[in-house]
Structure 1
Amino acid sequence: MTLNPTIDVAYEVDRMFHTRKMRTKSEFYSPGGGGINVARVFVRLGGIARSYYMAGGATGDALDGLLDLHQLVHNRIPIAGHTRVASAVLETKTGKEYRFVPPGPSIRPAEWQACLDELENAHCKFMVLSGSLPPGIPDDFYGRVVALMRRRNIPVILDSSGPGLKGGLEEGGVLLVKPSIGELRQLTGLELITPDEIANAAMGVVHSGQAEHVAVTMGNDGAILANAAGQLFLPAAPIEAKSAVGAGDSFLSAMLFAISIGWDMGEAFRFGIAGGAAAVMSPGHDLARPNDIQRLYQQVSGIS
């Protein structure tokens, strides 16, 4: 489920300058937003995914076309507002990347209610709720979906930030939540500097019953998995980073794919680390590739 999808546009320029017109060397267009990115990687790995998303206007039609080009099965919930367009610009002289992400269209009550109605008929093994809440969506929307899926015995995976993350967890019973370290700090209101502090905060989410498994991603510092069995720390895979676009989504998708084929949670977590690293290796217009994930998976070792 992607409430706030995007058309992701990526450019390359030699140098960034204010005011001056800058000619791009290349441009790429991709369907984006948390849940759509998760679905793209999941399908690349050999899984089957259906994307539910809210979209509207001419840009919503363009998003439909991009999803068709990527051969993704999709259910569009129509809205009046225009789907947002996000941009990433790579400055090739310095290797710096600049990202521009609008907040998205304002959603009317009848539109988000139509989204809930659509999910009443969703048939799936797992429901992934990924991405930010657009304006107009109530803070507890993800919590409502968690409650809906619980009634239908469908496990929920949650990856959001701010009100979306908080509102989804407050309902309780999430199978897996994947906050970044920044999102976990915002959720808890704590600085969370040391690995022990981060692990304890993640365990607090587990002990509260909000989520069964908590995977905290920390960029170059690796990731921590917390659940009833304890804590597992994984260092970051040793790779050359080219872009941060889609790393978290690729991590979550790889981890969920491993879970869906019966791997235990620790090995699925390792596979997720490999997925995130594989995305970082790719330019800003791409996500993780299966061959890179499989290769990096062999290089990731855990310290419990």
Structure 2
Amino acid sequence: MPTIVTLTMNPALDITTSTTRVIPTDKVRCGAPRRDPGGGGLNVARVLHVLGADATAVFPSGGHTGRALEDLVVTEGVEIRSLTIRGSTRESLTINENETGLQYRFVLPGPAVTAREQIACLDLVTEVASDADYIVMSGSLPPGVPADFYQRAADLVVDLGARVIVDTSGPALRQLRGGVFLVKPSIRELRDWTGRELSVIDDQVAAARDVIDRGVCEVIVLSLGAEGALLVTRAHDEYFPTVDVDVVSGVGAGDSMVAGVVCGLACGRSLSESVRYGIAAGAAMLLTPGTALCRRADVEQFFALLTDGSAAGTVAG
């Protein structure tokens, strides 16, 4: 099995709970909390472990929250290489409102990471990735980290022969210049990146191919949410439907999709098969509360549905 490394610069301790109704200014009594590791690359590594394609998770960690996060990840069986930083790892809060079925997600910014700590993170990921086949850089960047950090990391590890996969947003996405194998934006993120409306599928393909033609990456897997996904390369584009499921929580679905794609590639599947496997993993994640892990049996079932053509999906335009 090829070696996979994930980089998470802004990990979080995710807390999920529920209440009858969220009411301003009143005390809101909640149920028992669930605590899970969170942050893009960490979620990818956790799902990869469930799917049987283990990864080493690299991330900065600080304070009591950081130590609790590390304990949770290790307990799940994921190999970690953490870097101790001065600031405390952030927490995120998800509240499910029982009366309405609405979900409220409160995401804190994370600790400031000093310039020296950033260099140490780059050194660590380069060390761990010395014999890696895939490097997944996923999630937001914490305060103090420049928007081109993922590009700087890609410049370092691509020389090692690894395929770089990036899933981020905003300035960090716009700062990508090259050396990346695959990028997985959402439709909103691609709109922000290209400044286009992208209301029809032909425009979405054209925008993705423009990014590829600029040399930023070789492959774009465009997440369309409930409408499925698009795979775009310089010479090929393909639409994939999704699987209709009863959604419990949308937290971590995008990370699970990335994990499924990487797992597929690492197992020798084609790009098209790997995207289907990613869609299946994302759908399976929708069935679980908070950032609780998806179940491999659900992923395999949904992948079979997508592969034999029995899953239905439509795309606007």
TM range, smaller chain: over 0.9
Q: Determine which structure has greater relative contact order: mean sequence separation of CA pairs < 8 Å that are 6+ residues apart, divided by chain length.
A: 2
Residue 99 of structure 1: SS of its match in structure 2? strand
In 2, Cα distance between equivalents of 1:185 and 1:110: 34
Partner of 2:136: 128
Return the letter of the residue paired with 1:131. G
Alignment root-mean-square deviation, CA: 1.5
TM normalised by structure 2 equals: 0.92
Q: Is the 8 A contact 2:49 2:77 kept in 1?
A: no
Partner of 1:154: 162
In 1, Cα distance between equivalents of 2:265 and 2:36: 27
In 2, Cα distance between equivalents of 1:91 and 1:26: 14
1:66 aligns with 2:72: yes
Q: Is the 8 A contact 1:212 1:227 kept in 2?
A: yes
In 1, Cα distance between equivalents of 2:291 and 2:181: 30
1:201 aligns with 2:207: yes
**How far 1:154 sits from its partner (Å)?**
1.0
Unaligned ranges ≥5, structure 2: 1-6
- Map 1:173-192 → 2, pairs under 5 A: 173-192=179-198
1:78 aligns with 2:78: no
Partner of 2:4: none
In 1, Cα distance between equivalents of 2:109 and 2:62: 15
* Identical aligned residues as a percent: 40
Tell me the number of residue pairs that the alignment of Structure 1 and Structure 2 aligns. 302
**How far 1:14 sits from its partner (Å)?**
1.6
In 2, Cα distance between equivalents of 1:135 and 1:183: 20
In 1, Cα distance between equivalents of 2:85 and 2:9: 11
In 1, Cα distance between equivalents of 2:153 and 2:21: 44
Partner of 2:98: 92
Residues 234-279 of structure 1: per-residue CA shift (max 9 Å, x gap): 1221111221100100000011101001000001111111111111
TM normalised by structure 1 equals: 0.96
1:138 aligns with 2:146: yes
Return the letter of the residue paired with 2:133. K
In 2, Cα distance between equivalents of 1:259 and 1:107: 33
Partner of 1:49: 55
**How far 1:26 sits from its partner (Å)?**
2.5
In 2, Cα distance between equivalents of 1:131 and 1:285: 14
Residue 204 of structure 1: SS of its match in structure 2? helix
Residue 10 of structure 1: SS of its match in structure 2? strand
Q: Is the 8 A contact 2:228 2:239 kept in 1?
A: yes
Return the letter of the residue paired with 1:78. T
In 2, Cα distance between equivalents of 1:151 and 1:176: 16
Structure 1 range deviating more: 127-136 or 274-283:
274-283
Residue 204 of structure 2: SS of its match in structure 1? helix
Unaligned ranges ≥5, structure 1: none
Return the letter of the residue paired with 1:108. T
In 2, Cα distance between equivalents of 1:244 and 1:287: 12
Partner of 2:172: 164
